[in-house]
Amino acid sequence: GLYFAPFFVGVAEVSSVPLSFMDLFKVNKGLKDEFKTADEIVPALFAVLFLALRVIYWPFVAFEFSEDVLASGAGAPMQIATHGLNIGLLLLQWFW
Protein backbone atom coordinates (compact mmCIF):
# COMPACT_ATOMS: atom_id res chain seq x y z
CA GLY A 1 0.00 0.00 0.00
CA LEU A 2 2.17 2.99 0.63
CA TYR A 3 3.45 3.25 -2.91
CA PHE A 4 0.20 4.58 -4.36
CA ALA A 5 0.93 8.28 -3.77
CA PRO A 6 4.47 8.11 -5.21
CA PHE A 7 3.09 6.29 -8.24
CA PHE A 8 0.14 8.59 -8.91
CA VAL A 9 2.05 11.86 -8.39
CA GLY A 10 5.59 10.75 -9.23
CA VAL A 11 6.22 7.71 -11.36
CA ALA A 12 3.36 8.46 -13.74
CA GLU A 13 4.79 11.96 -14.28
CA VAL A 14 8.01 10.53 -15.75
CA SER A 15 6.30 10.66 -19.14
CA SER A 16 6.06 14.45 -18.76
CA VAL A 17 9.85 14.88 -18.92
CA PRO A 18 10.11 14.16 -22.67
CA LEU A 19 6.98 16.26 -23.19
CA SER A 20 8.79 19.22 -21.61
CA PHE A 21 11.68 18.75 -24.03
CA MET A 22 9.22 18.61 -26.93
CA ASP A 23 7.82 21.98 -25.83
CA LEU A 24 11.32 23.38 -25.35
CA PHE A 25 12.35 22.37 -28.86
CA LYS A 26 9.09 23.76 -30.23
CA VAL A 27 9.72 27.27 -28.87
CA ASN A 28 13.50 27.38 -29.34
CA LYS A 29 14.56 26.81 -32.93
CA GLY A 30 18.26 27.13 -32.02
CA LEU A 31 18.04 24.20 -29.59
CA LYS A 32 15.98 22.21 -32.07
CA ASP A 33 18.63 22.70 -34.76
CA GLU A 34 21.50 21.96 -32.38
CA PHE A 35 19.93 18.78 -31.00
CA LYS A 36 18.21 17.35 -34.08
CA THR A 37 18.60 13.73 -32.98
CA ALA A 38 17.10 14.45 -29.57
CA ASP A 39 14.28 16.38 -31.23
CA GLU A 40 13.50 13.30 -33.32
CA ILE A 41 13.77 10.79 -30.45
CA VAL A 42 11.90 12.69 -27.73
CA PRO A 43 8.37 12.35 -29.23
CA ALA A 44 8.78 8.56 -29.52
CA LEU A 45 10.15 8.37 -25.98
CA PHE A 46 7.18 10.38 -24.72
CA ALA A 47 4.74 8.09 -26.52
CA VAL A 48 6.35 4.91 -25.18
CA LEU A 49 6.51 6.20 -21.59
CA PHE A 50 2.98 7.61 -21.71
CA LEU A 51 1.49 4.40 -23.05
CA ALA A 52 3.49 2.17 -20.72
CA LEU A 53 2.91 4.14 -17.51
CA ARG A 54 -0.45 5.81 -17.96
CA VAL A 55 -2.38 3.55 -20.31
CA ILE A 56 -1.05 0.08 -19.49
CA TYR A 57 0.35 0.16 -15.93
CA TRP A 58 -1.99 2.78 -14.39
CA PRO A 59 -5.11 0.52 -14.46
CA PHE A 60 -3.29 -2.22 -12.54
CA VAL A 61 -2.21 0.21 -9.82
CA ALA A 62 -5.70 1.79 -9.75
CA PHE A 63 -7.31 -1.65 -9.35
CA GLU A 64 -4.94 -2.58 -6.51
CA PHE A 65 -5.65 0.78 -4.89
CA SER A 66 -9.40 0.10 -5.09
CA GLU A 67 -8.92 -3.33 -3.53
CA ASP A 68 -6.98 -1.80 -0.64
CA VAL A 69 -9.63 0.87 -0.09
CA LEU A 70 -12.38 -1.76 -0.07
CA ALA A 71 -10.42 -3.85 2.43
CA SER A 72 -9.74 -0.83 4.65
CA GLY A 73 -13.24 -0.76 6.08
CA ALA A 74 -13.61 2.96 5.38
CA GLY A 75 -17.12 4.35 5.56
CA ALA A 76 -19.42 4.62 2.56
CA PRO A 77 -18.76 8.33 1.84
CA MET A 78 -15.00 7.72 1.76
CA GLN A 79 -15.45 4.61 -0.39
CA ILE A 80 -17.64 6.47 -2.88
CA ALA A 81 -15.32 9.48 -3.06
CA THR A 82 -12.16 7.39 -3.37
CA HIS A 83 -13.50 5.05 -6.03
CA GLY A 84 -15.11 7.91 -7.94
CA LEU A 85 -11.86 9.86 -8.04
CA ASN A 86 -9.88 6.73 -8.89
CA ILE A 87 -12.15 5.92 -11.84
CA GLY A 88 -12.13 9.56 -12.93
CA LEU A 89 -8.33 9.70 -12.99
CA LEU A 90 -8.17 6.38 -14.84
CA LEU A 91 -10.55 7.64 -17.52
CA LEU A 92 -8.59 10.88 -17.76
CA GLN A 93 -5.40 8.93 -18.54
CA TRP A 94 -7.18 7.10 -21.34
CA PHE A 95 -8.82 10.28 -22.66
CA TRP A 96 -5.49 12.07 -23.04
How do residues 6-32 score in pLDDT, each as one tens digit? 998 888 899 999 999 999 999 999 999
> What average pLDDT does the chain have?
92
Q: Is the confidence at residue 46, as pLDDT, over 80? A: yes
Q: If you average pLDDT over residues 59-73, what whole number do you get?
A: 93
CA distances from 41 to 37, 51, 60, 62 (A): 6, 16, 28, 30
Q: If you average pLDDT over residues 42-66, what whole number do you get?
A: 94
The pLDDT of residue 96 is: 75
DSSP state of 54: I
Burial of 43 per CB tally in 10 Å (0-12, 13-18, 19+):
middle
The pLDDT of residue 94 is: 86
